[in-house]
Structure 1
Amino acid sequence: REVPDQPQPRSTHRPTMAAPSTPQVLLLLMALHTAIACQRPHDDNLPWNSLRLLHAMASNSTQPCQDQQPPFFSDALRNSHNPQQAAHTALRILQNLFHTLSSNHIPQQWDNQARHDLLNSLQHYIQHLQQCLPAHRMHFKSHGPYNIMLNVNRYFRRIHDFLRIHHHSDCAWDHVRLEADLCFQHVDTLFQQMK
């Protein structure tokens, strides 16, 4: 006798996804941690702590010489249109500040411990930003970010030329300290744009 068509029981077997291996999970967790940490700087106080150290470093400085005109912070450096561009600009400024303030020609009356603390702080933050940014160079549709990086480099080249022309005098260094002050204020603005 024929059995009428009965519905076949549905298969309870569903395709399963393979469990990720431990290294894959760790890589994902590290990527997630980095992404979250890079959404905003982990220490919003860096620019203000740096300003404090900068002032402590040069607290015994003379007043700026009136006959020397310092290079001025470029308005072109103030415009960052997205968080990644702001991060790249902040990184380039901090790298250049580190290079400039690492000079062997700084005034003798500057406080070495405050300078050392400032350089350590800068280095720590540079490493943090480098970790957050992609390994490859920025690729934007416009040349804006590239021009900003050129402007940052040109600005610091002018600072180095200014120091050289004035024979790394105390007065020239005091002007550079004032420019560094402006840089840290601008880096604070860039950090706000990274959020």
Structure 2
Amino acid sequence: MISRSLLQFCLLLLFSSEISCLDCNRLHVLQTRMNSESLERLEKMGGNFPFQCLNERTAFKPRDILKIRLSQQENAKVAIQQILQELFHIFNNNLTQAAWDGTSIKEFQNGLHQQIEKLEMCLSAEMEKEMTYPGNETLLLSSLKLKRYFQTIDNFLKEKQYNRCAWEIIRVEISRCFLILNMLTKRLENEGTIFSFFLKKLKYYLNKTVEERWLIGL
């Protein structure tokens, strides 16, 4: 039978380790909230779609990225990170003709930056544990689809010389990206559910008295 002092020491180490990655294991909760906040800022900073821009034509193919199939949660995180990085790049281009609220633009940019930083932290931790697989074929194909899609957006803005209507069209298009982000975020839910169950069991055990722990065989 394990000595009580050794058991308590091991439990404390385990508990501390799990608490340190709690945020990453509940990433889907944070990501869902921040997706919603970013979408609200996106809608707020431009207001209603300008009537004079209704006749503008686009050649985007959002259906291509809606077909992304990523079964592994780690791969979903990588795809989310890539989308956020692409969005951050787009909204740090020439915005002078966009005629949007400057404060809302800054809040939107800061929100994206925070999401990217959080994902980078979690992915770095997983890479150290060899939990992600950068060479995964499905992930590479998905990455190429995303690059092509966002390159089309970038080319459109350049072609239109970053005029107001171009930015308004992109603002509408990017709102669809947050639907895709939410779809990918849902694939992280199971990871958080499993961790929450483990944490509850661990807390239940730690709340037991020494005598009660002995009674359950430890």
Match of 1:73 among 41, 48, 62: 62
For the residue of structure 2 that corresponds to 1:45, the secondary structure is helix
Q: What letter corresponds to residue 44 of structure 2 in structure 1?
A: A
Q: 1:163 to 1:80 in 2, by over 3 A?
A: same
TM-score (norm 1): 0.77
The answer to whether structure 1 residue 86 and structure 2 residue 80 are counterparts is no
Change (3 A) 1:111 1:144: same
Q: Measure how far apart 1:182 and its partner are.
A: 0.4
Q: Counterpart in 1 of 2:118? A: 128
Which structure 1 residue ranges, 4+ long, deviate > 3 Å from structure 2?
A: 16-21, 24-27, 29-32, 135-138
Aligned to 2:39: 51
Structure exhibiting the larger radius of gyration computed from Cα positions: 1
Amino acid at match of 1:49: E
- TM-superposed deviation, 1:124: 0.9
Matching residue of 2:102: 112
Partner in structure 1 of residue 50 of structure 2: 62
**In 2 relative to 1, CA 141–162 (structure 1 residues): closer, same or farther, beyond 3 Å?**
closer
Question: 1:159 corresponds to which residue?
Answer: 153
Q: Going by fraction, where is helix more abundant, 1 or 2?
A: 2
Distance across 2 between alignment mates of 1:27 and 1:145: 32
Cα displacement string for residues 57-77 of structure 1 (whole angstroms, at most 9, x for unaligned residues): 111652434242141214344
Partner of 2:200: none
Report the aligned-residue RMSD: 3.1
| Structure 1 residue ranges without an equivalent (≥5) | 1-13
Between the aligned residues of both structures, percent identity stands at 21
Q: Is the 8 A contact 2:62 2:149 kept in 1?
A: yes
Letter in 2 for 1:68: R
TM-score (norm 2): 0.69
Q: Conserved in 2, the CA contact under 8 Å of 1:91 and 1:126? A: yes
Moved more, 41-50 or 83-92: 41-50
The correspondence for 2:167, drawn from 173, 179, 187, is 173
| Structure 2 gaps, min length 5 | 190-218
* Aligned equivalents of 2:9, 2:49: Cα separation in 1: 60
